[in-house]
Structure formats: C-alpha cells, structure tokens
Structure 1
C-alpha cells in the first residue's frame, strides 16, 4: 500500500469556540468561514483530495427551535458550567445569528463534492476529559449526533474528539455505535489529551514552536500500527495553523515542516494526517487558501513520484479493516 495523505477538518461554527472567545472577538473568522469552506472545496476538487469533515450535530438543524426538539435525554453536567453547549442554548439571546450556529446548507454542499466524508465532532462539541461529564452522557450525545446525520441519509463512521480530548475509556462506545475510526493525538508529551485546565502556557508554546521547528518528529504512522485494534486510531500528524501577519516571515518554515513530513510518509508508505478548523481560515481567507494550495501542489508531486494516495478517514478505515481481518 502506498503512502496515504489524510485530511480532517473540524466543522464547528461558533459552538467550537463559544466558551473561550466572545463573538465580537472572533467575528471576522466566523464571517469568512463559509467563503473559506467554498475555497477549500474548490482546491480539494482541483487536486482530487479526499477529506473528512467532522461536523457538530447541532449544525444539521435549521434553527434553535428545531434543535431543541432533538436534545439527548442525558446531558453532561460539567463542573465548569460555561463548557456546556446545552446551557448556552438556554442562556443565549437568539436573534439574527443563526448563520453562526447552524449550517445544513453547508453540510449539503460538502456532501455533494466527490471524496468528501461527513464525520462527527459529537452532537454538542462534547468534552470527554472535563470534570462532571460521564460515559452515559457521552453515549447519549454521540447517539444524537449519529441520529441527526442518519436522518438525512448520512452514515457516520469517523469521529474527531472536540479539543482532541480523546478518552480511552470511551472508545468502547465508538465500537458499540459502529464508528470505525477516530483521530488520535500525536505522540509527543505536549500533544497528549488534556482538559482545559491542563493547557498550560508551556504546552501551547511548544506546540506553536513545533509548527516551525521539528520538535516532535514527522508524526507519520505505519498502516500496520493503525490497524492493530478497533476502533482504528488514525492519528494526527500536524495542525495546519492559520496565517498570522506577525509570523508571516516564518511561513516558509511552516510549509517546509509539513512538506518534509508528507515526503516521509510518501517514501516510507506511511500515513500523514493534516487537520484544522474551517474557521481558522476565515479571518484571512486569501492567504490561508494560498498556503493550502502549496501543500496540495506538493501532494500532487508525491502522488506522481511515489504513488501517494489521498483518502478520507472512512476510506482509510476500510483499508485498515482489510489489514485487521487479514
């Protein structure tokens, strides 16, 4: 099997940042997100790139009234109440901002494009490592996410844990609900799953530095390693950080860091998994799409020279299942 280039995107709108950023502080990103999504899809189609869009279940609804009718029976009781999207539903003053909370039209656009998989990012942007929540409330949340997707003819087989809070104790729930794969974290200690309190300034600084300088290695993975057990862990290799005016002079380093890891995967018949949020691109769509174009053009070169293939997470899971059974 040749090397695999995997992309996953965490589709959240405001639900993914509402507990950490005010709407006014993040409005530029949210306002430009749909333009970014259209641009990303255009690039994916031009380069025949397949990707998984891990989508919050709330986004499938047209408005708050429809969402309220489909809430799970068991809700998480986070110790830090501001983490709960369910509390936000009751506390938010609903007006003309539905476009930043709901996106059935965007989901249909993504779904209509070849090679694009709709995965799940849980129903409510559920945090699996925060105090107060339980496996029962996680199961109810995830079931709700799968039901709303399946009601629209979209089977869910791939999951991305919000904030990368993968909880090993919850993996049997994925197997129970027939979710074939999830995106795990990189191996370095500063990437290990943490709750919000564990995100220290040092951890964030090391992750930022690692985007430009090789601190954690290439983070590419053998398919045999990924196929060891179900549900299959298709780990992250690199977060695609958005354009920053203050760090623009270092963008050549950021691109080189990604390209070297991609090449390692292509030559060694390994897997490279790139991920980001569409809203990351929203504040500076042009620069971010240009950077992505450079990455995808390099993928074209690796495809032609080494046979590297682009697969979404669902497609990777099919390959891993064959290896697992064999």
Structure 2
C-alpha cells in the first residue's frame, strides 16, 4: 500500500449535490422545500467565494441532475434498476412519476442551469451515483449498482464530463462494490472517518444513540482528530476519507457555533502540521436557508486555510487531485 500525500497537508472539500433526489424519502417539500429552492442562490455564492480564495472543490452530482428535462431523464434510466426490499427507497416507482417537466416547472428535481455554472469553473464534477443509490440496503446487488454507475457515466459524458470520483449516498460505502467502480473508471471515493460512530450502516441502523454521538462530535473531540494519510491500494479506487460534516447554522444552537468552527479549525491545523489530509463535506441544500450565516462560517474556515497555507504550505485540491490523478 503506497502513501500518496506525505510532503504537505491537503485540504479537500466535497459537496453532495443532489437537490430533492437526496431527501425525497425522508422529508417533504413542505418541510424542506425552502432548503432545496435555496440551492439556486447557494451554488453561485459558493462559486464566488471559492473564486475569491482560489479554491477548488469537488461537486459530487446525482446523475439525474445532468438531465435538462423529464424526457432526457427518462431516456437515461438504466434497464437494470435497484430492487430494494423496502420499496420506500425505490426512487423509480415512488418519486420519478411525480416529477415535473424541467427546471422552470420543477426546481426541486431539476438543476441543469446550476450544473452549467459549475461546468464553467475549475471545480471537479464527480458522481453521487445516478439515482442516489443506496449501496447497503437489502435487495439491491452489484449488477444493479454497476448499471447505475454506467448510467451516471453515460449522462455525464453526454454533457462533456468525465467522472473520476464518487461519493456514496448516505455514506453507505460498500467495499464489495469497489471493484465495480474500478472496472468502470471511477478511481477515487470518499470513505468514512475511522471512528465507529461513522461506520457505514443501513439507514435503519442509524439509531438515536449514534446520531447523538455524531452531534456531540461536532463540538467536542469525541472521535479525536479526523485527519488522514491517503494511501493507494493495488487494484482498488483510492480512498480519500471524509473528516467532518460541516453542520449547517441552526439558530437554536447558535451559541455553539464558535465551538463547531474551532473543532474544524483545530483539525485543519493538525492536518497542516502533520502533512495529512483534511476532508470537509456537506450538501448545498444544507446552506439553503440561513445562507448568510452559513457562508460567513465557510469564510472563517477559508480564512483559516489561507493562514495555514502561508505558515505550513497547506494545499487545496479536489478529490481527484488528492488521489494523485
């Protein structure tokens, strides 16, 4: 197993770009619609802020979002679809029939104009699977996952994008599927932090105690420093592990914001000093409300990155670049 980054620390940001496709099975438009609609403002503001800091990120994009309209979406669907035992996860039978015609008609499910904005930047556009595929849920199999990845590659290629990296939806990293990725040209994936509280699990295994531990870990060093050395294992995609989810601003927890940011910045400093990688992630829709406060928090983080860059040579890169590609 070869080490990739050993001469400088790396700061990676990946964003799970999914709109309503990422949450349709756990919430409703009435409850979460403002977050989804807010992404139309979030994406250009992220692009502008990253430009200000000369910063490149990875936008892991659900394949459905490469479609301009419902006709293109339906034409891109794979023949071999996931056969989840729990049909409540089946986006093809449960959600697609209710989708509108295009981005104007249905901004919850379509975001081609946002993809176009990203395409004009130097950011990496990677995959979040084609259908927001759940790799650990019962019923689905490797052949169905491969059909999903091929569909994601095909619709990306049709839009001038070559996919190199992947973020597993719900962080359900299935190690048995890594060879499927490699066989289909996906050379990098975002793994989970090493602590047991971040172990890949089925959705039903995400019990309240584990969620509480993760919440506490946002503010207190429950899991220690989540910095990593990126290693390359022969025959498999490179794991660029996640370090921390950037929890969005919540006015009810505003008194903890400073602790949250200090937790992140302390980990970043550790990575810079030890020549390790630090990988921050979130969803654009997390910033879809309280946009001003969320962007202010990100600005603080990027300011700290610049300080570490000058002091320790801390470097920014995309997931693809972190894997040496």
CA-to-aligned-CA distance 1:251-281 (integer Å, 9 cap, x gap): 1100000000000000000000000000000
Residue 202 in structure 1 maps to residue 203 in structure 2: no
Normalising by structure 1, what TM-score? 0.94
CA-to-aligned-CA distance 1:145-164 (integer Å, 9 cap, x gap): 01100111110000000000
Bigger share in helix:
1
Partners of 1:129 and 1:178 in 2: CA distance: 21
How many residue pairs end up in the alignment? 316
Q: Quick one: which of 152, 177, 185 aligns to 1:178?
A: 185
Aligned to 1:286: 292
CA contact (8 A) 2:99 2:109 kept: no
CA-to-aligned-CA distance 1:164-204 (integer Å, 9 cap, x gap): 00001000001101111000001111100011110100111
CA-to-aligned-CA distance 1:100-129 (integer Å, 9 cap, x gap): 111222111112123x00000000000000
Aligned to 1:241: 247
Partners of 1:65 and 1:132 in 2: CA distance: 28
Secondary structure in structure 2 of the residue aligned to 1:69? helix
CA contact (8 A) 1:4 1:309 kept: yes
Partners of 2:287 and 2:254 in 1: CA distance: 14
Residue 227 in structure 1 maps to residue 232 in structure 2: yes
Runs of 5+ in structure 2 lacking a partner?
1-6
Normalising by structure 2, what TM-score? 0.95
CA contact (8 A) 2:249 2:293 kept: yes
Matches within 5 A, 1:136-215: 136-215=143-222
CA contact (8 A) 1:122 1:162 kept: yes
CA-to-aligned-CA distance 1:66-91 (integer Å, 9 cap, x gap): 21111101001111112111113454
What value does the CA root-mean-square deviation take over the aligned residues? Answer: 1.2
Matches within 5 A, 1:123-138: 123-138=130-145
CA-to-aligned-CA distance 1:23-80 (integer Å, 9 cap, x gap): 1100110121121111111111111111100000000111112211111010011111
Aligned to 1:322: none
Q: 1:93 Cα deviation (Å)?
A: 5.8
Aligned to 1:102: 110
Residue 18 in structure 1 maps to residue 24 in structure 2: yes
Q: 1:273 to 1:211 in 2, by over 3 A?
A: same
Q: Quick one: which of 36, 40, 44 aligns to 2:42?
A: 36
- Which aligned runs of 4 or more in structure 1 are off by greater than 4 angstroms? none
Partners of 1:43 and 1:94 in 2: CA distance: 32
CA-to-aligned-CA distance 1:233-263 (integer Å, 9 cap, x gap): 0000000000001100001100000000000
Partners of 2:178 and 2:134 in 1: CA distance: 14
CA contact (8 A) 1:63 1:98 kept: no
